[in-house]
Amino acid sequence: MTLDTSTTVRELAVRAPGATRIFEKLKIDYCCGGARTLGVACAVAGVKTDDVWKLLEEVGQTASSETIDFQTASLTELVKHILDKHHVFTKEEMERLDALTEKVCSVHGQNHPELLRVKSLFQSLCVDLKPHMFKEEQVLFPYIIRLEEAVSRKQTPMPPPFGTVRNPVRMMMFEHDTAGELLRELREATSDYTMPADACISYRTLYQAMEAFEQDLHQHIHLENNILFPRAVEMESLVNSV
Ligand SMILES: [Fe+2]
Ligand SMILES: [Fe+2]
């Protein structure tokens, strides 16, 4: 690969799944901010484009550790991966971290008032994510699977009640932006998940788990925004153009 700073972060993340780990580490937004070019994204994150490119080249030569190739997998396989890996994890962690936030707040809230903001932000994130994932599981994903099944049988899919897949996709992407903003605010409230000197085990566990939750949600949104949704929109357009 030659250095091309006009390539978007989204394209790089799709081309080499390992790139997302580098972007995560360098705080380069690759899910909701994936439309930025690499040059702009590096400037926003305050890192040198040359250094990032070197890391991307290394990761491009390393085999991906992912079990499926997101570019060639069927949409049904992609949906299954998102549900099994990300929806299950998000639901489990929301429940665990809600209880843990409560506990840490009650013990350390007086000395660390920022924890009250962390608790409120995390609760807002959960309030948004629960119905969001429900809509994906009950409405959007089943339609995408039916669409692909109809295409493979060379049949015309039943028209969806929402008109076109573009409508729920637009809504889901808008909700992803809101979630992304809440994650940014959480990072700010926790000073990049920096633990104070007097942090107990629960406090440390909470910050470590919240940072892992952020990383998983970034990857989850990336798979939907940058891979699943564009491929579903394209498939529907092809069917409707026949
Ligand atoms: Fe999802
Ligand atoms: Fe989503």
- Evaluate whether 18 touches 55 at the Cβ level (below 8 Å): no
Mean pLDDT of 194-221: 93
C-alpha torsion sign, points 28, 12, 7, 177? negative
Residues 6+ apart with CB under 8 A from 181: none
Query: 2 alpha carbon to ligand 2 midpoint, in Å?
Result: 33
Q: How far apart are CA 41 and CA 225, in angstroms?
A: 17
- What's residue 66's pLDDT? 64
Q: Give residue limits of the domains in the chain.
A: 9-61, 75-241
- The helix (H) or strand (E) run that includes residue 235 is helix 229-241
- What's residue 3's pLDDT? 65
Phi, psi dihedrals of residue 217, rounded to the nearest 5°: -70, -35
The pTM of this model reads 0.85
Number of other residues whose CB lies within 10 A of the CB of residue 12: 26
Separation of CA 89 from chain center: 12
Q: Report pLDDT digits (tens) over 37-75.
A: 999 999 988 999 888 888 888 877 655 556 688 888 999
Query: 221 alpha carbon to ligand 1 midpoint, in Å?
Result: 7
Query: 2 alpha carbon to ligand 1 midpoint, in Å?
Result: 34
Query: 198 alpha carbon to ligand 1 midpoint, in Å?
Result: 36
